Structure 1
């Protein structure tokens, strides 16, 4: 899987999850449960990963939705 976004903002993560789900793309949000380790402070970022075959479409969807600045290079 390829990392698309890394953020501490749960609203951004939730919105991106909805976009990927609506598009029918395979995705995974990594590090969701790290709040247990950090004491629920929201310090550690969560990562949105998509299947390698879907990365171009996922990037296009994020750009169209105004999340270009949130995307990781690569």
Structure 2
């Protein structure tokens, strides 16, 4: 799995999820249930991951949607 985005913005997480779903790119959102521990303060960022095989397509999709600045560095 490759990390695409790490953010505290739950609206952005939802928007990226919708884009990936629309392109049939399976993804995982990690740490979204951490609000139980942090007290719903939004301190801990959520991480969006995709399978290695979908990494390039997902990055291209987000870049075309104007979200390239949100992408984590691609190692």
Cα displacement (A) at 1:17: 0.2
More helix by share: 1
Cα displacement (A) at 1:59: 0.2
Q: Equivalents in 2 of 1:53, 1:26: separation in Å? A: 10
With the length of structure 2 as denominator, give the TM-score of the two structures: 0.97
- Structure 2 spans left out of the alignment, 5+ residues: none
- Structure 1 spans left out of the alignment, 5+ residues: none
How many pairs align? 74
What is residue 9 of structure 1 aligned with on the other side? 9
With the length of structure 1 as denominator, give the TM-score of the two structures: 0.98
After superposing on structure 2, the runs of 4+ consecutive aligned residues of structure 1 that deviate more than 3 Å are none
Q: What SS class does the counterpart of residue 33 from structure 1 fall into?
A: coil
What is residue 42 of structure 1 aligned with on the other side? 42
